[in-house]
Amino acid sequence: MNKVTVVGSLNVDTTMKIKRMPLPGETLSALGKSSAAGGKGANQAVSAARSGAQTYFVGEVGKDSGGEMMLKDLRENGIDVSGIKVNDQVGTGSAAILLDENGQNSILVYGGANQELSVADVTAAKKQIMEADFVVAQFETPQAATLKAFELAKANGVTTILNPAPAHEIDPAVLKLTDLIIPNETESQALTGIIITDETSMLMSAAKFAKMGVRNLIITVGAKGAFYCTQDGYNFIPAFKVNAVDTTAAGDTFIGALSSQLKPDMSNIEKALVYAQRASSLAVQKMGALPSIPTKDQIMAASQK
């Protein structure tokens, strides 16, 4: 059983179901509304935990009903929340999600307490970082916190996974401490300047990331699948064909499931990728972020069909 420490975001997601995305200046009526626990960090941690990983969380919530909901939901998923700080000055992070009838979404995120996560908060979780097999981070919390987490991880032989989302300029020091980077095709282009069109462009992207200091890469390409490139080889793993109703947590489900199965030396990356693709394919068939993330039993059952 892998031990996974997630350093990341905790958001209350409010989803508005709409027929199509509004045009600039246009007002549309929503077909439905729902609220659920979410945030890239929370989604990835729940995905890892539901796939059997011993999961620990480092993050921050506000002293409010949203924060209480986040802590309750993580505890119910067996996640150790002792590394989550409660901030009485800043509210819990939140996200407003517009979801159209094709399952595509647009998301607005308010960072809130997520943006207050500090180097000191991460240092306080040193034990859980040192004892992990993987430390996973995203970009909905300050990069200084991620850098500290990765410094502690690498000093103790722990494998680091970076999901550079939402994509923006990365501190070169973070990249040099990243063992595996997992962008989608849009994020990969934003970081390398290379448009993802085919295998050649993916290999060019892998070479660009390697120059930045990251020698292992997975690029997720939505419903098409995922490309990986490690020091031992590369391949493209096709996605499972399903009818998507909500893609909100697809990438996060993929990353959490992957971290639960991957060996730290990445020797089983293809097998772990297929498992993660299966998990993601199940998540997009249900509404919501956390509610849609499958368990290991559900993933294994789907694999038998």
Helix residue ranges per DSSP H, the chain: 40-50, 65-76, 119-124, 126-130, 143-155, 172-176, 185-192, 199-212, 250-261, 269-283, 296-304
Distance, in Å, from the CA atom of 239 to the CA atom of 7, rounded to the nearest integer, reads 27
Per DSSP, the three-state class of 150 is: helix
Whether residue 252 lies in the annotated active site: yes
Distance, in Å, from the CA atom of 146 to the CA atom of 68, rounded to the nearest integer, reads 24
Helix residue ranges per DSSP H, 2-79: 40-50, 65-76
39: its two tokens: 């945030």
Kindly provide the b/e burial profile for residues 281-298, where b requires at least 16 CB atoms within 10 angstroms of the residue's own CB.
bbbbeebbbbbbbbbbee
Distance, in Å, from the CA atom of 147 to the CA atom of 143, rounded to the nearest integer, reads 6
Tell me phi and psi for residue 164, to 5 degrees.
Answer: -80, 65
Picking from 17, 8, 164, the residue whose alpha carbon sits closest to that of residue 97 is: 17
Distance, in Å, from the CA atom of 179 to the CA atom of 123, rounded to the nearest integer, reads 20
Catalytic hit among 13, 73, 246, 252: 252
Distance, in Å, from the CA atom of 208 to the CA atom of 79, rounded to the nearest integer, reads 36
CB hemisphere CA count around 90 (13 angstroms): 15
Kindly provide the b/e burial profile for residues 26-56, where b requires at least 16 CB atoms within 10 angstroms of the residue's own CB.
eeeeeeeeeebbbbbbbbbbbbbbbbbbbbb
- What residues are labeled active site? 252
